[in-house]
Chains A and B, each alone.
Chain A
Amino acid sequence: MSDVLLSCRKVWKVFGPQPLPPTRELEGLGTEELTARGLVAAVRDASLDVREGEIFVIMGLSGSGKSTLVRCLSRLIEPSGGEILFRGEDLLTADTRRMIEIRRKHMGMVFQNFALLPHLTVLENVAFPLDIQGMERKARAARAQQMVELVGLKGKESFYPRQLSGGQQQRVGIARSLAVEPDLWFLDEPFSALDPLIRREMQDEFLRLQGSLKKTIVFITHDFDEAIRLADRIAVMKDGVIEQAASPEEIILRPATPYVAKFTENVPRAKVIRVEKIMVKPKAKSYAARVPVRSNLAEAAKALKPGVAVVGVVDASGAFVGEIRREALTAQIMAG
């Protein structure tokens, strides 16, 4: 297992009339009892570890407390209790200066509604975090230009946000959050405001980026399909509580609570299990049919057109890392 970059222990966030009661008094209370006291516990006793280089997805229905949890993790709001460790340092005891420094150097965030500054061009928006840090003009323009090209917006540098489509605007948001080369990348429902087709395209784009960047990512979504497509691990939230945190396979095959089970009961195995789980060592030098290593069995089945007996598995660099035969695939899909 790789190192833990960010972890939170027993984090609470309670909204309600001040002064709030200490959180240990609230442990074990149900939603009704809290409501009766005029309190909303948006996050309850949440503990999780985000490992270096993984995509950690927080999944839950609207109002389940996902945004509140990431806002606690990035300390945009002050948690009511618990601790948050970033590389072993407790963020909740960091002073304002230190927090500014951590955010400038190590964190990036992408927002659901893009949060682009309307008075700046695409390039200026992307360069904005660098500008805030006082980076010199030429250097930040060059760096921003690089980011703009990375997200495929070359040629649109001098456009203003309102002249762009939603998908393009979110690309700007992504480029901006990457400009400072953060170690920890938060994305709060980055694709929820987009049309389904664009959303799919942006997910692919996101995976492509991550393939080369290898960031540590906390990704929020209310869309279960999106979660299993992207996640290395998923935390399922309900009413502020993390019901289960595990890999997508695990969540589907061994749901920890009835709520998670209900969520996952209609998801076919083929959509969850990744080809890397069942592939064997490649026997040939090259294959006519190929799928990326992160794709699931259903996608592999699609690649196995009639008359094709075997499909090659490629990693991000395009090298073959495995193969899957038709019989093996069928057997796996049938087993579910």
Chain B
Amino acid sequence: MAAAPARNIGNWWFAAVLIAALALWFAGKGTVPWAFDYPKAWMIPAMQWVGGFSKWLVDQAHFGLFTFKELTRFLAGLVDFPYRIVLSLLATGFLEGQGSAAVQIVPPLPWWAVTIIAALFGHWAGGRKLALFTTACFLFLAAFRQWDSAMVTLASILVAAPLGTIGGILLGVACYRWPLFQRLIAPVLDLMQTMPVFAYLVPVLVLFGFGPTAAIVATLIFAMPPMIRVTLLGLKGVPGEIHDLAAMVGCTQAQTMWRVLVPAARQSLMVGVNQVIMLSLNMVIIASMIGAGGLGFDVLTALRRLDFGAGIEAGFAIVVLALVLDRLSQAAADKLGAPQASTEGRSFVQRHPHGVAAAAVAVMAILLAYMAPVLQAYPQALSVSTGAFFSDVVAWINVNYFDALEGFKNFILLNILVPAKRLLFTVPWIGAVAVLAALGFKLGGWRLAVLAGTLVFLIAATGQWEKAMITVYLCGTAVVLATLIGVPVGVLAADRERLWRGVQAVIDTLQTLPSFVYLMPVVMLFRVGDFTALIAIVAFAVVPAIRYTVLGLQKVDPSLIEAGRAMGATPWQILSRIRLRLALPDILLGMNQTIMFALSMLVITALVGTRDLGQEVYIALTKADIGRGIVAGLAVAFIAIVSDRLIAGAAARQKAGLGLA
């Protein structure tokens, strides 16, 4: 009850500001030009600041014992050394000498040995079925001539994922141990989660140069935050009694952490490992732009040359790799999280049959490589290429359905995209700042108002307004479309058990795929441009819309539905008046996720020629311009943060209103 007057004040403010902003909007540019185009003279030179800072960092920064440059070199070495070993083992072999004069002294593991070792791992983690699945996936990679690229990608992941896991655990433990450290790092983690992936690449590129090392560093930075979070959550979730136990048996601080708390949180840590692996894959693909090589590079070059056949083959290879890594890491996590049968009193071989077998295969493979080098490569005769086939299919579709596809595209462009874009371009920046701040006040009090107002103002003040508006227009349209598709699908699936299981299987798979992969088929059909970007974003962002709708609907208390039925409500009334009404907070949260997904995809679509902030980051990347990249990246992050906080506020209010909080 006490909140009611405050809420009214919020409403009044909001209405007043809205009317004022609308009036300004209708009055148009002529009246107060500075309200529409942010004046150059007031611009905050953030780009120069960031650029200058990074220049200072690279050229002059000195931490007493060592310079910043030495620090980055050291970090690079840390990553580079294991990467060289894994890469040699999987792809290049161990070389003696430099460049073209290099001689191979030990050959890499041949395709069959890697396949067998992977299958053994699958068997250890998940039994015969998983072993078969793993074998099939690796054979696919070999048969479709994707082996070499796939191994380069795999090598990056095999280095990045363990380092990311260990680093994440260490930082998570530090957060747990020193709350101050957590408070320092939490906003950084939040920001990192909302920054578009490309934005990571720019500073990494500048600091570490072009090449696989830089790519792995970027991957590490990208994949570590969830592990930190999971570790922290896992440690916080350890029951109080376990803490007491540690104290009562006289554990020292280190013993409490490493002998009690971390093992007790093992199950949640394992969930984090799976996430790290999947994020690493996603990022390694994207990091092909700064020299990661491998499958991502193949897709990238194919995209640039519009060579669909090659692109789709590499795309399939990424999908296969994603599937197999996901299954393997999940099975391994379950296996390690669960208790194992006791192995007391058995020999080493009995205790580690899979490990011993894998080592034996590796040794044998290397020996065989000297004796019978023929076995080294996958036989040409058995390999398949579908590149030409896919190129033909695309050509055929484009010849036969060109008019239909083009008509569809133009319809959407002319009736939705172009008007939305025009409309947003006329929005005065100062009006947007005011309205969003007022909305923030209405939904979450003055703190939210200040946050929303400041961030939106900063977007304008750093000269990103126009590009931001394109971002908002593309992202907004995509979110609306994704919601229009996702919510009805969710409603249909929510109470149809079999349908939901099917849908779930599809969206789970979709979610494991690196975002890059989504571009391929759309570009083939619609070529580059806003419309293509829109379709790719919708395809990527529809997943959370469906998922949260189903979750929300399934959570509704069945007794309420029965009560509705008892009152004689029609099925439609039950759906619209009871179920959707109660599921609204969850659907709103789903929308939130949809926006996040859309923004992260939007940046990737810079590759297909959009003109938004993503493009700005992409250009910065190609020019290695840190200032430009970070400022544009931050602008995207700001959009994400503002929409996230506003929607979360709205969802919380809905929840409180329904007494669900």
Contact = CB atoms under 8 A, between A and B. Distances in A.
A76 B248 contact: yes
Interface string A80-118: 000000000000000000001111100111011111011
Contact of A115 (B239, B255, B259, B341): B239
A162 interface: yes
Nearest to B249: A129
Contacts of B260: 117
B249 A104 contact: yes
Contact of A133 (B245, B250, B267): B250
B240 to A, nearest CB: 9
Contacts of B264: 117-119
A199 B493 CA distance: 47
B97 interface: no
Interface in B404-445: none
A271 interface: no
B251 interface: yes
Contacts of B342: 121, 158
Interface string B244-258: 110111111001000
A117 B242 contact: yes
B354 interface: no
A128 B263 CA distance: 13
A111 B245 contact: yes
Interface residues of A, number: 31
Interface string A226-269: 00000000000000000000000000000000000000000000
B248 A109 contact: yes
Contact of B339 (A71, A112, A163): A163
Contacts of B557: none
A103 B249 contact: yes
B244 A76 contact: yes
Interface in B211-258: 239, 241-242, 244-245, 247-252, 255
Contacts of B251: 100, 132
Contact of A107 (B248, B259, B344): B248
A107 B159 CA distance: 46
A160 interface: yes
Nearest to A70: B244
A74 interface: yes
A132 B339 contact: no
Given A117-B264, A119-B266, A158-B344, A74 B248 contact: yes
A120 B245 CA distance: 14
B252 A100 contact: yes
B244 A129 contact: no
Residue among B248, B263, B264, B344 with the highest chain A CB neighbour number at 10 A: B248
Contacts of A71: 244
A163 to B, nearest CB: 7
Contact of B244 (A115, A132, A180): A115
Nearest to B340: A160
B72 to A, nearest CB: 38
A128 B239 contact: no
Contacts of B344: 158
Contacts of B266: 118-119
Contact of B250 (A118, A132, A186): A132
A101 B244 contact: no
A102 B247 CA distance: 11
Contacts of A118: 264, 266-267, 339
B248 A103 contact: yes
B338 to A, nearest CB: 8
A100 B250 contact: yes
Contacts of A120: 263
Contacts of B252: 100
Contacts of B245: 109, 111, 115, 117
A119 B242 contact: no
Interface in A98-154: 100-104, 107-109, 111-115, 117-121, 128-129, 132-133
A113 B239 contact: yes
Contacts of B239: 113, 115
Interface of A: 71, 74, 76, 100-104, 107-109, 111-115, 117-121, 128-129, 132-133, 158, 160, 162-163, 180, 186
14 contacts: A76-B247, A103-B247, A107-B248, A108-B248, A109-B248, A114-B241, A115-B241, A115-B245, A117-B242, A117-B264, A119-B339, A132-B249, A132-B250, A132-B255
Which 3 pairs show the lowest CB-CB distances between chains A and B? Answer: A104-B250, A158-B342, A160-B339
